[in-house]
Amino acid sequence: MSDTPNMDPRTELAGKRTTLATFRTAQALDRTTLAWIRTTLTMGSFGFGMIGFFRTLQDRAQTPEAAILHHAAVRIGELLVLMGIVATVLAGASHWSTLRRMERGESPRASRWPLSITIALFVALLGVVGLWRLVGSR
């Protein structure tokens, strides 16, 4: 069991549990990062869809007001693509940073401004700007 006769077997068991806990934490970090990648890909894909759809409508707009609305929708789509790219980079950087901390034996720590709250605020701001443009163009 143990290399030294005076060593408590519980110490060895605690070390194994710590190793497994670190492994589980790293796996959870991977799952979280993959979830962020799915989210940012969806954001970017939706943005590209908006750009393509509303550019076509903008070219066929019957009135100047419709052209302005379609132009605003294209800009919102561009912002979604940009937000997707930025969020992907931030998720990767956060993942890398947390893995490095764990490799050094430090505990992972939560950010003061988590990526989820930051992206939620940007999406809400984007919605307010879109609504403002919609109401302001009438």
Angle at 114 between CA 113 and CA 115, to 5 degrees: 115
| Cα–Cα dist 118/40, whole Å | 13
Q: pLDDT tens digits, the chain, 138 residues: what are they?
A: 445 556 777 677 666 667 778 888 888 989 999 999 999 999 999 999 999 999 888 888 788 888 888 888 898 899 999 999 999 999 999 899 988 988 888 877 777 778 888 888 988 988 888 788 777 766
What separation, in Å, do the N-terminal and C-terminal C-alpha atoms of the chain show? 79
Report the candidate in 105, 79, 100 with the shortest Cα–Cα distance to residue 22.
105
Give me the helix-helix angle, 9-59 and 64-103, nearest 10°. 160
Q: How many CB atoms lie within 10 A of CB 44?
A: 19
> Which DSSP state fits 138?
-
Longest dimension (CA), the chain: 89
Specify burial of residue 119 (Cβ count, 10 A radius: 0-12, 13-18, 19+): buried
| Per-residue confidence (pLDDT) for residue 1, from 0 to 100 | 47
Report the candidate in 18, 27, 39, 17 with the shortest Cα–Cα distance to residue 99.
27
> In the chain, which ranges are continuous DSSP H helix?
9-59, 64-103, 115-136
